[in-house]
Amino acid sequence: MAYTVTPSPAGPVGSQYCVCKVELSICGQNLLDRDVTSKSDPFCVLFMEVNGKWVELDRTETAVNNLNPAFAKKFIVDYHFEEVQKLKFALFDQDKSSTQLYEHDFLGEFSCTLGMIVSSKKITRTLLLGNGKPAGKGMITIAAQELSDNRVITLSMAGRKLDKKDLFGKSDPFLEFHKPGDDGKWMLVHRTEVIKYTLDPVWKPFTVPLVSLCDGDMEKLIKVVCYDYDSDGGHDFIGEFQTSVARLCEAQDASPLELECINPKKQKKKRNYKNSGIIIVKSCKITRDFSFLDYILGGCQLMFTVGIDFTASNGNPQEPSSLHYINPLGTNEYLSAIWAVGQIIQDYDSDKMFPALGFGAQLPPDWKVSHEFAINFNPRNPFCSGVEGIVQAYSACLPHIRFYGPTNFSPIINHVARFAAQATQQETASQYFILLIITDGVISDMDETRHAVVQASKLPMSIIIVGVGNADFAAMEFLDGDSRVLHSYTGEEAVRDIVQFVPFRNFRNVPKETLAKAVLAELPQQVVQYFKHQNLPPINSEPA
């Protein structure tokens, strides 16, 4: 068994894109029995592929005398949507106290991507031996859970009859919220805005993560301090009180919660001291701030479609100068872009059947130009099986079409938008559509394309454009609304930015994974933004 033991892998891979941490729970069923006098004592080892080598990340505890173990120790892995994260789960029967794996009997292994696990939430698979054959009836079950508290708290606060601190006017009050730090001292979590010249302030509602306010513990004490603002920074103390989130949650829109603001010094000095004013919690709501992974674990499918440019400017595919020429290694820039994006996204679509469309070519038998044709020449079923199916259909169609023009994007964008519009009728966060357009040149139908993108921005849909060759891609940058909001020719604004453009030439001499990171970096945020805008929680989400 060619396994390497590395106590700590060399730094998190691609950490700048890290979305969150995932907890993996492992169970085994019907494991091989390697012990003569008793049952196997299994433990599970997790490996991740780093630069082509399997590196050990962690191990579970050993389950003594157990062929159906449920391991208590969980594996925690950084999740990166825009990477193919290959994992291997290997089970061994512990025979000695050695840390060397070759000292223990091998019970079987299973390899997959982290994307496959999170898109299914739970998978059960056959364990394989080193020769690829099943390890008896042995099975492994892997369940994924996001490791984050995504609850947020929204508070609406006011004050009444606060102490007057300014000689020639009223106070300028603001609030500070503190939680106990690890060192026992109070730690500032949030500061409201200052309300000028009033003893009865009403602050704007604010939202903070529940983890920030109370470490997710609703019963934990928090301290609220009220100050009178001074421009020199020497703010005057008005009063304070301690409470908990559980107590704040008693506030309802109809019945606000009132808490006395106390100045301990005044309280000691004055016998008849009541308080330094009242702080009113007008409302307190706890909701969930759902992440991309919440939607994926909730069962949202990413529906992938490819649009390929077959216009004449690409050149004759039989000549090496053509962008569609398939070199002796069996690839070209079109295929590289399909592989880079497709191999990530295919993990998030359960049936892995992807429509592949072409545009800008003349088709047999009548040689009419089409801007929206199935590259497998089956308009009723344009689906290809997996990324391999797209690649096969692409290679097979090249000799049978004539490259022509113009370069029209809008028909393919509108084609996918029709399906995305149908998905909105379900009113659940179940499907999100991704259109990958690979093109070599300038868009001919810019007005229609702008209009199509603006309309698509209202739908569960994103568009990735990869520009191949060395053309001027200024128009593509224009569609990618990172720097400005895109407008239709009617003047209508895009609701959100859904286009990501990258020129392939920037990625010719870098690892192929770099292209996937660049084109998919914005996608998780676009998915979340759409479903939040529509007020759609993940399917099967728990209440806050």
* 343 lies in the same domain as 465: yes
State which of 267, 288, 309 marks the end of a domain: 288
Cα distances from 194 to residues 174, 204, 357, 397, 482, in angstroms, run 5, 10, 57, 67, 33
CA–chain centroid gap for 413, Å, is: 24
Residues 228 and 309 in one domain: no
Read off the DSSP letter of residue 475: H
Q: Give per-residue pLDDT as tens, 108-141.
A: 999 999 999 999 999 999 999 999 999 999 999 9
In this prediction, residue 420 carries a pLDDT of: 97
Same domain, 284 and 309: no
* Residue 5 belongs to some domain of the structure: no
244 and 356: one domain? Answer: no
3 pLDDT band, cuts 50/70/90, is very low
Q: How confident is the model at residue 11 (pLDDT cuts 50, 70, 90)?
A: very low
Q: Give the model's pLDDT for residue 441.
A: 82
Task: Give the pLDDT score at 473.
Answer: 85
The DSSP bridge pattern shows strands 221-228 and 173-180 to be antiparallel
Q: Which residues make beta-bridge pairs with 167?
A: none
Same domain for 142 and 176? no
CA–CA separation, 109 and 130 (whole Å): 8
245 and 376 in one domain? no
Q: Which two tokens stand for residue 339?
A: 């592989």
Whether 273 is covered by a domain: the verdict is: yes
Give the pLDDT of residue 35: 75
Q: Is residue 143 located within the same domain as residue 210?
A: no
Q: Same structural domain for residues 157 and 247?
A: yes
Looking at the fold, whether 184 and 92 belong to one and the same domain comes out as: no
In a domain, 542, yes or no: no
Q: What pLDDT, on the 0 to 100 scale, is given for residue 7?
A: 34
| Average pLDDT, integer, range 280-297 | 93
Structural domain includes residue 541: no
Give this prediction's pTM. Answer: 0.80
Residue 211 in this model has a pLDDT that exceeds 80: yes
Q: Write the pLDDT tens digit of every residue in 369-409.
A: 999 999 999 999 999 999 999 999 999 999 999 999 999 99
Residue 255's alpha-carbon distances to 90, 267, 281, 283, in angstroms, are 57, 28, 9, 8
Q: Does residue 163 form part of some domain? A: yes
Residue 438 belongs to a domain: yes
Q: What is the pLDDT of residues 407-444, one digit of tens each?
A: 999 999 999 999 999 999 988 999 999 999 999 988 99
Average pLDDT score over residue span 280-299: 93
If you search the block for the tokens 């496959």, which residue do you land on?
Answer: 116
Total count of domains within the chain: 3
Cα–Cα distances in Å, from 186 out to 202, 236, 257? 25, 18, 24
Q: In which domain, by residue range, is 103 found?
A: 20-147
Q: Check residue 481 and give its pLDDT.
A: 66
Q: What percent of the chain lies above the pLDDT cut of 70? A: 95
250 and 343 part of one domain: no
| 419 lies in the same domain as 467 | yes
In a domain, 539, yes or no: no
How confident is residue 146, by pLDDT bands cut at 50, 70 and 90? confident
- Looking at residue 150, what is its pLDDT? 86
Buried-state track 404-434, b at ≥16 Cβ within 10 A, e below 16: bbbbbbbbbbbbbbebbbebbeeebbbbbbb
Write the pLDDT tens digit of every residue in 441-481: 889 999 999 999 999 999 999 999 999 998 888 878 777 76
Residue 463 lies in a domain: yes
Of the residues 107, 132, 147, the one at which a domain ends: 147
- Do both 346 and 406 map to the same domain? yes
Lowest mean pLDDT among 151-155, 320-324, 483-487: 483-487
Q: Residue 110: what pLDDT?
A: 98
Q: How confident is the model at residue 544 (pLDDT cuts 50, 70, 90)?
A: low
Q: Which CATH number characterizes residue 321's domain?
A: 3.40.50.410
> For 305, phi and psi rounded to 5 degrees?
-130, 140
Please tell me the predicted confidence (pLDDT) of residue 6: 34
- Say which CATH number the domain at 88 has: 2.60.40.150
Three-class secondary structure of residue 337 per DSSP: helix
